[in-house]
Structure 1
Amino acid sequence: MVKRNLLKAIGPGLLWAGAAIGVSHIVQSTRAGAGFGFALIWVIIFANLLKYPFFEFAPRYAASTGETLIDGYKRLGKWAVWLYAVITVFTMFFLMTAVTVVTAGIFANVLHSSLPIYQWAIIIILILAAIVVIGKYSVIDRFVKIIIVLLAISAIIAVISAFSLGYHPKPEYTHTFNWITDIGFLLALVGWMPTAIDVSVWHSVWTITKKKESGYAPKLKESLLDFNIGYFGTAVLSIIFLSLGALIMYGSGESFSDSGIDFAGQLINLFTKSIGSWAYYIIAIAALATMVSTTITCLDAYPRVLEPTSKIIIPKLNREKFTKRIRLIALAIVTGGTVIIFVFFLGNMKQMVDIATIIAFLTAPILGWLNLKVIKLDHVPEEAKPNKFLIVLSWIGLFFLTLFGLYFLYIRFVL
């Protein structure tokens, strides 16, 4: 019975992992290894550690109160909901464009298509938007579980094979991290490592949605276990992808292309160089499925969070008959805005990803602070509140995220 209930509880954490793994791991972690070897592995470890409380508070709050973080923001005051709404609307188009351009690049590369990448992006996002409209949480939930396992197995095999080949960077092609010229990439790496903090809100919504659709209310320990499996699993994968970039590309004289299509080919070659060319289609399918998983997870999440947010900001919309309409309108806005921004940036994947991740970094302290305030609200059961270690870790995380954000702004606009 315990195992059966645990299986019922698992899902939101893996959906969270599905949203996290895509760009931050496949793109940014791999770029970190390819550009700096193992020098930035400490950044990935600390980013995962310092952001942990802000993500953990989402399932903790949802499981113990039966509310989403958006409901918690409402309890803080309407200003908190407005703040979250502004950040979401400001960042969602950049996030969706970043994940779509990577997905489109992999599709075009694997299929050896001559179609322009923006056309692939339009095709992909329209198809996935249709799936979101007709699908249910349970369908996306099952799909993501399978994809994450497939990618994890592929990545583990690849990195073991890569380590067996040794680490032999050529000194003339190596690069030492510079705290002034490379700070933009550092923030881009941390911004989505393991993912943007606003995804914590998605997690709380998925937790409540799964409870409604499955009819099972998971205990706090079960929800936290589900989260920890996804969180620490993605942390390990981020180190694996950095290792692949370091072992195969760092010091080789090669560098990742800014083009989504070319980058996709280079990414797949990282795996085939360590495993063998026979694994090309296995890796291609795993990478493709992972990015599709990330894209559809994000497309599913934005309408889910914008619907209750809109109802709080505009009370007249707080009727059941408006629920589906709001979600459809939100999905249409996200989809349309993504296509427009993507065409504007003309397929420069690196630029698009860096903009999205840096914005995520700069807004992280605000959302982290909101989550900390919510979990300390009086109506949260005392036994469900985080221990002192998590509270202290939260303040340390807020301090460093704010400090590095201010340092970046100083480097970019003052020096």
Structure 2
Amino acid sequence: MSDGELTDPPPERARMWRHIGPGIVVAATGVGAGDLVATLIAGSRFGYALLWAAILGCVVKIALSEGAARYHLATGSTILAGWRSLGRWAAWYFGIYVIIWGFIYGATAMSATALPLAALFPAIPLRAWAIAAGLFGFIFVFFNRYETFEIVMKWLVGFMFVIMVGLAILVAPNLGDMAAGLTFDLPEGSLFYTLGLIGGVGGTITTAAYGYWTQAKGWRGLPWVPMMRTDNALAYIVTGLFVVAMLIVGAELLYSVGIALEDSDRGLLGLSEVLSERFGTIVAVLFLLGFAATSLSSLLGVWQGMSLFFSDWWYQLKCAAASDEGGSDEGGREGSGAYRFYLAWLTFPPMLLLFADRPFLLVIVYGAFGALFMPFLAITLLILNNSDRVPAAARNGWLANATLAGSALLFLVLAIQQVANLVGRA
């Protein structure tokens, strides 16, 4: 993108819809196969009772991604530069986390993308599909810039949205039961599952990558904040509709007849069998294609966005080593050496996990770091966006502070639960 484009003024409100993109990217990246399963299981176990939790989860993600992007736009800096201003411990925490996270997530994303493809074309082994998915992500992101990446992500989102929402319409939702699901009911045995549904649907670390995608889009400065907020809100409305559609499928197709799915990505294959029996092979195949689009959008989003994130971390580290001024504010760099290193890190080392059971200790460490990242993000956004690092006009209002504080408390509870479970398994 040229310098001239970077200084273009934001569009008028009536034309904002033509410029949306980064929000769609972050929402598509955040909703993966695991989120589909979590929402389906919620619907299959509790019907529509947790509909409010799925919607609240989208509101939480709106606040987190908006806060991260607002820091980028208001300061001309990056969230990583902000973390480093809190102390070197924050930058090193992220660096350790993102290396461990990338190694485990790389294998998870490749496997999730391979599952529906192996179901559609069983002559090719699952492991071969997983490797092919990783290589496709690597080659696509290596040779394409943000503009092409965004276009492909929009097509994937559109396809999976039409499939999943169409499926929800096909199973004929009960509108009265759906309305009852907005009453904040908490069925017996659903507390921690509810917290997980709020905290998990719609992204974790990729929520913080939103600011990097707004920069890649060319949005700079406070005048772009209204455009960013429109983009972000619209994206999570789409996510909310997508999640509600999956809850409808779980409630109407599974809960009503007492069908239980496997609590893993393979549970989606079980759903395809149910769809085939009830609606025929064509519907089952379309669902598997939607499943594949959902998993592939998450893979591509992580391959691109987290490589940007890592390149910024590396650049901050290099500048901090050369001087004590706190690093650079230039953000992640597409095509840089660090960008390509992390892209390769996500793709090739995780393939080892496709040939063997995951090392249990690594999974424990990954789970602990992952549980602690979201409260870290919520708390640091509260600190940074209320500080003099941000112009007064762009600091948190009461609603942002209340939402971020509630998110921080929620994620701390989830972190304690996750770490306790991991310790119990060790």
TM-score grouping bracket, smaller chain normalisation: 0.7 to 0.9
What SS does the corresponding residue of 1:54 show, helix, strand or coil? helix
Aligned residue for 1:210? 217
Aligned residue for 1:337? 349
Alignment of 1:161-176 (within 5 A): 161-163=170-172
2:131 paired with 1:122:
yes
Letter in 1 for 2:301: T
- Quote the offset at 1:300 in angstroms: 0.9
Aligned residue for 2:249? 244
Contact 2:303 2:343 in 1 (8 A): yes
Aligned residue for 1:66? 76
1:170-194 Cα shifts (integer Å, max 9, x gaps): xxxxxx7536xx94x5565444222
When residues 269 and 369 of structure 1 are mapped into structure 2, their CA distance, relative to the original with a 3 A threshold, is same
1:293 to 294, 297, 304: 297
Aligned residue for 1:23? 33
When residues 165 and 238 of structure 1 are mapped into structure 2, their CA distance, relative to the original with a 3 A threshold, is closer
- Structure 2 Cα separation of the partners of residues 275 and 397 of structure 1: 40
1:13-65 Cα shifts (integer Å, max 9, x gaps): 01001102223432221222223333433432333334442222022222223
- Structure 1 Cα separation of the partners of residues 195 and 217 of structure 2: 33
- Quote the offset at 1:271 in angstroms: 5.3
Aligned residue for 1:384? 394
What SS does the corresponding residue of 1:250 show, helix, strand or coil? helix
What SS does the corresponding residue of 1:163 show, helix, strand or coil? coil
Q: What number of residue pairs does the alignment pair up?
A: 395
What percentage of residue pairs aligned between the two structures are identical?
A: 19
Deviates more, 1:304-313 or 1:20-29: 20-29
2:61 paired with 1:48:
no
When residues 68 and 118 of structure 1 are mapped into structure 2, their CA distance, relative to the original with a 3 A threshold, is same
Aligned residue for 1:349? none
Deviates more, 1:138-147 or 1:78-87: 78-87
1:328 to 333, 340, 359: 340
Contact 2:171 2:252 in 1 (8 A): yes
Unaligned runs of 5+ in 2: 1-10, 178-186
Aligned residue for 1:171? none
User: TM-score w.r.t. structure 1 length?
Assistant: 0.82
When residues 97 and 188 of structure 1 are mapped into structure 2, their CA distance, relative to the original with a 3 A threshold, is farther
1:91-133 Cα shifts (integer Å, max 9, x gaps): 2233333322211101101123351x22221121012111111
Contact 2:141 2:303 in 1 (8 A): yes
- Structure 2 Cα separation of the partners of residues 8 and 377 of structure 1: 33
- Structure 1 Cα separation of the partners of residues 401 and 381 of structure 2: 11
Contact 2:44 2:258 in 1 (8 A): no
When residues 42 and 273 of structure 1 are mapped into structure 2, their CA distance, relative to the original with a 3 A threshold, is farther
2:231 paired with 1:226:
yes
When residues 164 and 330 of structure 1 are mapped into structure 2, their CA distance, relative to the original with a 3 A threshold, is closer
User: TM-score w.r.t. structure 2 length?
Assistant: 0.80
Contact 2:43 2:50 in 1 (8 A): yes
Contact 2:145 2:334 in 1 (8 A): no
Contact 1:155 1:240 in 2 (8 A): yes
